[in-house]
Structure 1
Amino acid sequence: MKKTQKLMLVVLFGLTFTLQAQEKRSIANLQLGIGGTVEGTSVKTPAVYGSYEYFPWDNLSIGGLIGYSTLNIKIENAFGDDIDNDSSNFVAGGLMNYYFYQDEKLEFYSHIALGYASGLTASLFYEFGAGGRYKLSDSLYLNSEIGIGLSLLKVGVTFQL
């Protein structure tokens, strides 16, 4: 499983540097997540996520995301007692955002992501929702996303690269 995680990171960073070499817009996001589920298990908050987006067109971005969270697992032992247990969860995957509104200060988009989660067992995760950004300066934004999947609510900052 460690080899799979390392391979996914190498591919993600390679994709990031390849896409950055082109002349189009690109951004990086850092976010904290609240709520959500992975593998049918509750995610303890806050979860931490980082993502990169490249814009091949003005209203569509593609990219990748990585994240870390702790899963809260309830296990019933042989005596019928519920035991709470925590498990580390690493996620890596691809994302796509469609920007349906953009002006000088605001951006709103729909969001979909699919990838690998290493929680209890290696599995796929999905996420979809909507988000927005508010421009503070030429290279800094505040962002927020709501949706179903990794986290119900994400808040953070975006850097224009």
Structure 2
Amino acid sequence: MSDRYIRISTTGLVVRDGRILLGRGDWPEPGTYWLPGGGQHPGETLAACIEREVLEETGVRVAAGPVIKLREHIPWNHPGSPSTPHVHRVEALFWCRFVEEPDTLGATVPDDVQTGAAWVPVDELNGLRFMPPSVQASLPGLIAQAGALNDFYAGDVA
């Protein structure tokens, strides 16, 4: 029997005033940035998951918008991947609408490797150490298409 399993997760793309909301931490190297997000809980919709995860990792309240990218990462197909080697990850990237920000930006329930959160100018994305690199490469195009996004996520329906 294999110890491999599938983890369903979400990430959120939050853009406001030309800046993108990112988590920052020490994984896999110090000074690495990523989109806020995390694993779905049983009984939780993907939309509720991303709203919770963004709040927990940044303190920012968002409303889930359309799913704009669906990504898989199967680490045993990518030698040298810093990801957990036995976790096949399926990740839904949501465009998120900014709702409210606390007086002090920061995680209410930080991930183990997280050291902070930041609003980073979109034009500085390419100069960052970012995980995963494939998502970093797609962000400028996704942000540019924000007005033409189509939602294919139906949510919890019968």
- The reply to whether TM is greater than 0.5 is no
TM-score, normalized by length of structure 1?
A: 0.28
Q: Which has the higher strand share?
A: 1
Q: Which has the higher helix share?
A: 2
TM-score, normalized by length of structure 2?
A: 0.29
RCO greater where, 1 or 2, for CA within 8 Å and sep 6 or more? 2
